């Protein structure tokens, strides 16, 4: 029986909702302008930002390859902006579109029994995984469920409407953006990776005429290549440096206050962009619940909330919360309306992803490809045309794929020749999967609910959402997250320590939100009373989820978060002592401090040179200084940090003060109470300048001006 579209239209009009009668399609037909889902407020601005950052990324790669400085990059960017403005005013973009013959011939509804079976399979997978404590058990049952879902009829009824955006919806989305930005400004949790990333910003601004990314600015050595070749592709940090250089704002202000707040404004817009494509009739509800999950629910340390929201100053977190949702949305948009404009946006977001993180080399093409494949018609009558457009869409991934292929051999060689093997290098597939699941999902019920929602959506009443969830889950479970392929993926693609990022293929918070909003698509909720009941139920379930699921909540002190006024996202006391060490020393002089202090010293403008910032960063200097010197620096740093107390420690410190020489030495208890070390410091030219309950600073007296 054919569905009664006219009845649906009458119901929508009675409820006061806009409705346009949909075409019988197969998960994403060619659409007219009238049928295309309305893009959320701010979409054009977001597109412009993506194109601008993609251009910056291309220019940065060129300047780094030419060994140029920051000032040259800024000049090239200004020139590119002028050219882009001229093209926008006087240029005419090329136009090409898909043949209108790609419509599905007839609809096939997904049976209720079939859908219930898939939901029960998803529930069984989550329960069995939780009770057994084994991610392999979940994977086995999930794979069986996905296999069943793969046999679902592909020809479906998809109704595309163009819902209006009344002022209330615009106000809600604007409120979401402002709320998210406000939370990011006041939520502070220090992250040790900032020692490297923010130092790139500070050093580029401090040396604007030096070749970019050409030295170890953490320890103060020029002409030292990055530890991995793919690190030369990072452009987000240099963009922050460019903003600081042009505006005159301090680099740390730009990196920890201005940039995260501006990016946070884009996060709700990016998720709304994907939601309007997948669930156009209730995209605002899905967007709101997605943001609720990001801000309130506790996932793993590498999940969407902890890794994304609390580290939004770093490019890899922007990749997770902005670039990947947009990659999926742009893939869907290209499949629905292929054109030069949508192809350029699809290519631009993937280029921008590469500049945000090396993981963008593989994540962005995969996520964009999922959006593309999940949307294009698959009816046999037009298979060749569908394949053609798939290939055209996949060509937008050329830049990241070619770069990844060019750097693959050198990167693998760098990993294999590392002084210390990466953690997890010898893990089995099951061990990699277990570690990744714990890192992303955490230990609470929320992780199991995310997995359940992902599988259950493959039985959704929304054809495009169902196909998108099914393709995403199949790609994830069949190609990346299974016991047989995981070791190869970890060794050749992701790295063993970052294998957890295969979970980022799945937009888990949106899947959770879309699952909660499924009742809004049922026929019983087309009337005003039914819709009110459904919305009330969603609110109640969300409230219960807030009560039971977080473990711990994302923004809680238990999760290491400090809620305070906007400022550096650093531990206040450690940052104060790091700045004190910087003030007591000469630029480029050597200083010795425990790791909790030393890691923040490179964030100071005109910073001295710590003997060691972090152990994993010190290995980069092995070919320059030799392993014996690296061992000496490690021993000294752990000595003053109180981690070791070898008999040779006092003599080691005495030689370092005299021969390096050291301008400042900072001791941490119990090292500060070791009489032998205090005797060495008392006999040296250093004098005590500050003492706290945990730390003590000794510095070389600064000569007084004549």
544 or 76, higher pLDDT: 76
At 30 the pLDDT is 46
What mean pLDDT is predicted for residues 275-301?
90
At 33 the pLDDT is 45
pLDDT bracket for residue 23 (50, 70, 90):
very low
At 114 the pLDDT is 63
Q: What is the largest CA-CA distance in the chain?
A: 97
Average the pLDDT over each of 264-268, 309-313, 528-532 and give the range with the smallest value. 528-532
Domain boundaries, the chain: 5-557, 572-699
What mean pLDDT is predicted for residues 342-363?
95
At 94 the pLDDT is 54
All residues at 6 or more sequence positions from 202 whose CB lies less than 8 Å from its CB, including other chains: 217, 241, 251, 252, 602, 603, 604, 605, 607
Q: pLDDT digit string (tens) for 370-414?
A: 999 888 776 555 667 777 888 899 999 999 999 999 988 888 887
At 103 the pLDDT is 42
At 538 the pLDDT is 85
Report whether 15 contacts 528 (CB < 8 A).
yes
277 or 523, higher pLDDT: 277
pLDDT at 237 over 90: yes
pLDDT bracket for residue 102 (50, 70, 90):
very low
Percent of the chain with pLDDT over 90: 51
Residue 683, helix vs strand vs coil: helix
280 or 139, higher pLDDT: 280
Query: Which of 4, 373, 369 has its CA nearest to residue 154?
Result: 373
At 273 the pLDDT is 95
pLDDT at 421 over 70: no
pLDDT bracket for residue 267 (50, 70, 90):
very high
pLDDT bracket for residue 15 (50, 70, 90):
very low
Specify the pairing of strand 695-699 against strand 662-668: antiparallel
552 or 273, higher pLDDT: 273
What mean pLDDT is predicted for residues 104-120?
59
Question: Could you give the dihedral angle defined by the CA atoms of residues 117, 123, 124 and 130, in that order, rounded to the nearest 10 degrees?
Answer: 170
What mean pLDDT is predicted for residues 166-176?
84
Angle at 37 between CA 32 and CA 42, to 5 degrees: 120
pLDDT at 107 over 50: no
At 72 the pLDDT is 93
Whether the bond into 630 is cis, omega within 30 of 0: no
What mean pLDDT is predicted for residues 200-208?
93
Report whether 695 contacts 667 (CB < 8 A).
yes
141 or 133, higher pLDDT: 141
pLDDT bracket for residue 534 (50, 70, 90):
confident
pLDDT at 281 over 90: no
684 or 145, higher pLDDT: 684
Q: What is the pTM of this model?
A: 0.88
Task: Give the C-alpha separation, 7 to 13, whole Å.
Answer: 10
What mean pLDDT is predicted for residues 284-290?
94
pLDDT at 460 over 90: no
What distances in angstroms separate CA 575 from CA 30, 194, 240, one per listed residue? 56, 12, 21
At 93 the pLDDT is 53
What mean pLDDT is predicted for residues 86-115?
53
Task: Give the C-alpha separation, 149 to 147, whole Å.
Answer: 5
Average pLDDT along the chain: 84
What mean pLDDT is predicted for residues 292-304?
86
72 or 99, higher pLDDT: 72
What mean pLDDT is predicted for residues 661-687?
93
Residue 209, helix vs strand vs coil: coil
pLDDT bracket for residue 68 (50, 70, 90):
very high
Average the pLDDT over each of 283-297, 362-376, 382-396 and give the range with the smallest value. 382-396
Q: What token pair was written down for 465? A: 């959402």
């Amino acid at each position: 029986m054919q569905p009664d579209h006219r009845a649906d239209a009458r119901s929508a009009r009675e409820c006061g909702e806009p409705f346009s009668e949909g075409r019988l399609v197969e998960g994403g037909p060619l659409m007219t302008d009238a049928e295309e889902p309305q893009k959320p407020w701010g979409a054009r601005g977001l597109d412009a930002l993506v194109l601008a950052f993609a251009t910056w990324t291309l220019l940065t790669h060129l300047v780094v390859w030419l060994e140029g400085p920051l000032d040259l990059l800024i000049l090239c960017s200004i020139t590119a902006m002028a050219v882009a403005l001229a093209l926008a005013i006087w240029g005419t973009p090329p136009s090409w579109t898909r043949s209108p013959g790609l419509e599905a011939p007839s609809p096939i509804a997904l049976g209720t029994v079939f859908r219930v079976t898939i939901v029960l399979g998803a529930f069984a997978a989550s329960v069995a995984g939780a009770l057994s404590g084994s991610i392999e058990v979940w994977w086995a049952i999930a794979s069986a469920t996905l296999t069943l879902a793969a046999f679902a009829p592909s020809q479906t009824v998809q109704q595309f409407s163009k819902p209006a955006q009344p002022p209330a919806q615009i106000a809600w989305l604007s409120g979401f953006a402002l709320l998210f930005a406000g939370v990011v400004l006041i939520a502070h949790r220090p992250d040790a990776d900032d020692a490297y990333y923010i130092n790139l910003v500070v050093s580029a601004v401090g040396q604007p005429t030096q070749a970019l990314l050409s030295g170890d600015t953490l320890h103060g050595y020029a002409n030292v290549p990055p530890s991995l070749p793919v690190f030369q592709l990072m452009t987000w940090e240099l963009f922050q440096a460019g903003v600081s250089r042009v505006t005159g704002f301090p680099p740390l202000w730009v990196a920890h206050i201005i940039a995260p707040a501006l990016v946070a404004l884009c996060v709700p817009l990016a998720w709304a962009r994907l939601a309007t494509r997948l669930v156009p009739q209730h995209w605002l509800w899905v967007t709101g619940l997605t943001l609720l999950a990001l801000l309130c629910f506790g996932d793993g340390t590498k999940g969407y909330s902890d890794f994304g929201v609390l580290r939004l100053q770093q490019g890899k977190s922007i990749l997770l919360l902005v670039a990947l949702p947009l990659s999926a949305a742009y893939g869907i948009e290209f499949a629905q309306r292929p054109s030069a404009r949508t192809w350029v946006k699809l290519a631009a977001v993937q280029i921008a992803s590469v500049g945000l993180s090396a993981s963008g080399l593989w994540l962005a093409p995969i996520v964009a490809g999922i959006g593309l494949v999940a949307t294009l018609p698959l009816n046999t009558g037009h298979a060749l045309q569908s394949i053609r457009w798939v290939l055209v869409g996949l060509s937008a991934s050329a830049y990241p794929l070619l770069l990844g292929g060019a750097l693959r051999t050198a990167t693998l060689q760098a990993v294999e020749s590392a002084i210390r093997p990466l953690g997890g290098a010898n893990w089995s597939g099951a061990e990699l999967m277990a570690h990744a699941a714990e890192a992303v999902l955490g230990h609470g019920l929320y992780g199991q609910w995310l997995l359940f929602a992902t599988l259950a959506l493959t039985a959704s009443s929304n054809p495009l959402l169902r196909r998108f969830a099914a393709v995403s889950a199949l790609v994830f479970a069949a190609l990346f997250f299974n016991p047989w392929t995981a070791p190869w993926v970890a060794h050749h693609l992701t790295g063993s320590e970052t294998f957890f990022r295969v979970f980022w293929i799945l937009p888990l918070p949106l899947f959770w939100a879309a699952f909660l909003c499924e009742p809004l698509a049922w026929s019983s909720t087309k009337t005003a009373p039914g819709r009110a009941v459904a919305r009330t139920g969603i609110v109640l379930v969300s409230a219960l989820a807030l009560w039971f699921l977080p473990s711990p909540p994302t923004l809680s002190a238990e999760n290491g978060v400090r809620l305070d006024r906007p400022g550096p996202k650093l531990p206040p006391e450690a940052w104060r002592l790091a700045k004190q060490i910087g003030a007591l020393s000469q630029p480029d002089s050597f200083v010795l401090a425990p790791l909790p202090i030393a890691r923040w010293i490179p964030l100071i403008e005109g910073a001295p040179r710590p003997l060691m910032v972090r152990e994993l960063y010190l290995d980069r200097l092995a070919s320059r200084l030799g392993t014996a010197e690296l061992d000496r620096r490690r021993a000294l740093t752990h000595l003053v940090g109180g981690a070791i107390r070898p008999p040779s420690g006092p003599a080691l410190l005495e030689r370092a003060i005299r021969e390096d020489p050291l301008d400042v030495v900072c001791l941490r208890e119990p090292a500060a109470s070791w009489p032998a070390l205090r005797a060495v410091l008392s006999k040296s030219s250093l004098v005590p300048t500050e003492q706290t309950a945990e730390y003590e600073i000794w510095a070389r007296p600064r000569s007084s001006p004549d």
